[in-house]
Structure 1
């Protein structure tokens, strides 16, 4: 399934978890093969992909004989093996803050808004309740993130250099602003960061609509 000569990313265009890793790969200037996994069609249950990731989620990264199937683990692996354009600063306080932001996104909000959970809510309660759930969970976490970042954010989340926190924040902001059309007036810091990310080529190249498996308009 993968070319052993270079990095292979198993991705789905709308997956925020895969989106994070596309950003990280782009920031580090790493060439990779894009292998689409259509989760709406059930490609994640294909036996070949299940051997790559028994959890049947994207993303998964193959680097030679190394296989990693979790966006946080992949990001840390890339940081360790490919240290160019580092995502974690040497300053311990800033490093911890970047990891904290990434953790809040990856464990505090994304699991509640993933396809399995949202589809279940829609099936049981309907589309209106699904949308209300998305907004409620996002407001809860964005309130915390705004408080965390308002005094430390500068050009980017933790300073003037892009960090791991930015890599995890960008896809979540894209989703709620572009897809949910969420009012960001209560989150000026987060809204400003979203605007900053839209200007960065590595982020632009990673957005869902620019992926090879995105549907043509």
Structure 2
């Protein structure tokens, strides 16, 4: 039975970055299949990739003959299939907290800054790049302000988002901080987020998942 893992990824995709972190934390070997989101109008729109994901989004994880979609669903699949080390706590209340933190990024911050949203603003409404980037900074700032309060004010926060072991929420947070830095967001008001990010980046699993470490990163 084929148990190989293949990750359809783009080096700078925040969602793919999350899954790379999760795979690395689990110590799982995988093959990267690059999907260039800009070349030739976006390789995600080609028929071959649309067959794997009708949403035309990365990441997609192929595990043997099974195709997995949606980054947080993929991460929970990894956690259920390879339980150690866990990405989610065992206690239901703690699991809810970690999921809520991850979803605050994946559902409330990232979608507003997704490539297809920015392309729509540009192509349909002719929004200039400076205004598009201000849009990005505004919505990241809104989300980060809430996350900073949620994390700084909760004794469950430890070295990482939840306690002293990295998990699902850290898989979501670190790529979003990378994106914030890319677009010049002032991170001064979010010391807890930056502290957690720096603790994560010191771990090999996070360093190896970084966009700058990916095989499809442009020279």
Q: Give the TM-score taking structure 2 as reference length.
A: 0.93
- The corresponding residue for 1:163 is 167
Coordinate RMSD, CA, aligned: 1.4
User: Which residue, out of 140, 143, 147, partners 1:141?
Assistant: 143
Q: How many pairs does the alignment contain?
A: 213
Output the CA distance in 1 between the equivalents of 2:120 and 2:131: 11
Output the CA distance in 2 between the equivalents of 1:135 and 1:49: 31
SS at the partner of 1:34?
strand
Alpha-carbon offset, residue 39 of structure 1: 1.0
Alpha-carbon offset, residue 133 of structure 1: 0.2
SS at the partner of 2:32?
strand
User: Which residue, out of 14, 38, 59, partners 1:40?
Assistant: 38
- The corresponding residue for 2:75 is 75
Give 1:46-195 correspondences, 5 Å limit. Answer: 46-123=46-123, 124-152=126-154, 153-177=157-181, 179-195=182-198
SS at the partner of 1:154?
coil
Output the CA distance in 2 between the equivalents of 1:148 and 1:9: 32
User: Which residue, out of 25, 31, 41, partners 1:27?
Assistant: 25
Alpha-carbon offset, residue 181 of structure 1: 2.5
SS at the partner of 2:109?
helix
SS at the partner of 2:218?
coil
Moved over 2 A (4+): 119-123
Unaligned runs of 5+ in 2: none
Q: Give the TM-score taking structure 1 as reference length.
A: 0.94
